[in-house]
Amino acid sequence: MNKFLPFLILAIILTLIPPVGSSANTTAIQLGSDVLFNQFHHLIEGKKVGLITNQTGQNSQMVSTIDMLRRDRSVHLTALYAPEHGLDGKTVAGKQVTSFVHPVYAIPVYGLSGSTRKPTPEMLKDIDILLVDLQDIGSRTYTYISTLQYAMTAAKEQGKEVMVLDRPNPLGGTIVEGPVVELPYRSFIGVDTLPLAHGMTIGELALFFNRTIGVDLTVIPMQGYTRNMIYQQTGLAWIPSSPHIPNLTSVFGYMATGLGEGTPIRQADHFTWIGAEGLDSHKYADLLNGSLLPGVIFIPENKGTAGGVRLQINDPHQFNPVKTGIYALAYAKQLQSFPLPKSTSMQISMFDKVMGTNKIGLLLEQGKSPQEIISSYEADLKKFVELRQKYLIYGDEPFIPMQPIQQKQPEQPKPSKPAKPETPAPPKPGNPNGTTDQTKKPEPATKPIPQKPKSSEKIAYLTFDDGPSPVTPRVLDTLKTHQVKATFFIVGREVAGHEAILKRIVAEGHALGGHSYSHNYQLLYKNMDGFFADLEKGSQMIEKAIGVKPTVFRYPGGSTNTVSLKYQDPTRYNKQHTVMQAIKAEAKQRGYTFIDWNVTNGDARSNKYTAAQALANIKQQVKSQKEIVVLMHDSSTKSPTAEALPGIISYLKEKGYRFEVIQADRPTVSNVK
């Protein structure tokens, strides 16, 4: 028996060792910084970049955005900007963050707290675009979002672009709570009409702020994030965001214990304890536990002569930090009378700045219950919830970034001559003053702005028809290795069983288009109604698999095919009035965008071809075109296409082409066959 003991011990040890590869990325989401470099890198290529960040600015692989930019030869990182607590997050609250030249990077690091909170023109003069990569904690009073708002304002004044790399709201996006900031009480801890818990990501906040700023703004959204996701569900490691926020417990406790600024009520132990001198801990705990606040238990605990409670958050999904904080203040006031700080015409008290109003202090002084205090701001809170709706990016389903979210401000044309006075227009019905409403509704936050390629650029669109198939993963692996994006035109009947491949295509930044359901020419080209019924069925299969309906499509056989003449219904169509003419006219009416090609690898002609022949076909056809759409096929018989792909990509790169995906709203060659 003893001779087996060493083997038994070894077996036990091996079960305790994580398997190989356990250090690989296991996050449920990809951050905005991941998505920028994986999908939308072209947005920063060739630009001088300034970056507002700190120690939290790391991607899902724990690589800092600073390092990602410094390793990137296509961009020039010219300046860094540090919010409160500094570039390393270790400067204590209230202490000025100084500016300096970085000893390693040899670029300026500008402090944006203390006396200089808004970037000056001098700070922005050497950049083209201002990137923001900061981890917020979901509270309006946390100054990282204030720095964002100030920076957006400065960028607007100096004509600079702003790009926000989105990150989770650690509290999730469903808790929206607390008094809303009133105009007289705006400050650096309340820069806009936000409640204490806003329930928005930093990217959504940027879109919200921009309704009054109007800067050229781009938000790079996260992948896989949902509205109800709290930080613990993201799979990301928490990086201490400031000296007193070392962990997620302090994040959730921040607004529950930290609302008593300027009163005897204080927090301790990184926002996990709340109390005051002389407070009866047990009575305090009884009142709070008796309120049955969701997700938390209050443990009585003294700290010297101070009495208070420690928060034990047992269900962070149900826990409401702000409501908990209001109850904690109201019950402390019931147990121990103390004066509330008053604002004057000359100075706003810190308590009122935190609350964003003087009404909460007045209600506390009157001995109002926590329920009465909460009901006092419910109407304003409802208005905010309605206002913020149009700026939200994420919903209940995992978000798939198909394009960056851009709010570009149109240039105002300058009149060459003084405008002649116009004859007043007659009043419109319902408008007795004869004035017109100059207030324009903001564009939807998710509407992309088409970007025309520069005239000197050479762009290649790699396209793959007829998949998904067993060959698709090989194609995707090659595209990922070479950091190239492509467009896949999908046949609906092939979707079932290959849903994971479609999700991978989208997740890795490629585009999907429709290519009919059946790919059966006899069915497709009999008549117009049959064609669109088949196409829609294919699009529905794609939408069911990935949650997004394709916006571009490719005709089987191309838009100028003649094979359709063979199958068109002779009772409805003839050589002068063909089924293809009818289909294309209807497609135009329906707003469909179709894409043909002007280069092909020849794999449609036969299944008996080699990778060398496919590459040779490409080389023969690529001449000096500015834009090329390359037709290739993706099916179980097209292994040589996958084999030839690395050579094709290398050849096109040598010819000076950059690779793009096809989008319906971006100017792209269409009928080029």
Residues that are catalytic: 465, 633
What phi and psi values does residue 477 have, to the nearest 5 degrees?
Answer: -60, -45
**Token pair belonging to 476:** 């995707």
CA 640/CA 307 separation, integer angstroms: 75
**Token pair belonging to 18:** 């994580």
**Token pair belonging to 635:** 């099916």
- Whole-angstrom Cα Rg for the chain: 30
Burial of 598 (0-12, 13-18, 19+ CB in 10 A): middle
Report DSSP letters for 47-97, one per residue: -EEEEEE-TT-B-TTS-BHHHHHHT-TTSEEEEEEE-TTTTTT-SPTTSPP
| Residue at token pair 């000359």 | 346
CA 569 to chain CA mean position, Å: 49
**Token pair belonging to 592:** 């469909």
What phi and psi values does residue 286 have, to the nearest 5 degrees?
Answer: -65, -45
Q: What share of the chain is helix, strand, coil (3-state, %, to 5)?
A: 35, 15, 50
CA 82/CA 123 separation, integer angstroms: 12
68-72 contacts, C-beta under 8 A, 24 or more apart: 68/33, 68/37, 69/131, 70/105
Report DSSP letters for 93-161, one per residue: TTSPPPPEE-TTT-SEEEE-STT--S--HHHHTT-SEEEEE----SBTTSHHHHHHHHHHHHHHHHT-E
CA 58/CA 45 separation, integer angstroms: 20
| Residue at token pair 């900031």 | 181
CA 157/CA 153 separation, integer angstroms: 6
**In the chain, how long is the greatest CA-to-CA distance?**
107
What phi and psi values does residue 623 have, to the nearest 5 degrees?
Answer: -115, -105
114-118 contacts, C-beta under 8 A, 24 or more apart: 117/146, 117/147, 117/150, 117/188, 118/150, 118/151, 118/153, 118/154
CA 285/CA 291 separation, integer angstroms: 10
CA 66/CA 377 separation, integer angstroms: 41
Which DSSP symbol is given to 414?
P
**Token pair belonging to 219:** 């938000």
**Token pair belonging to 342:** 């008053």
CA 310/CA 257 separation, integer angstroms: 10
Residues forming a β-bridge with 163: 131, 218
Burial of 118 (0-12, 13-18, 19+ CB in 10 A): middle
| Contact in structure between 162 and 129 (CB atoms under 8 Å) | yes
At position 205, the amino acid (one-letter code) is L
Which DSSP symbol is given to 458?
E
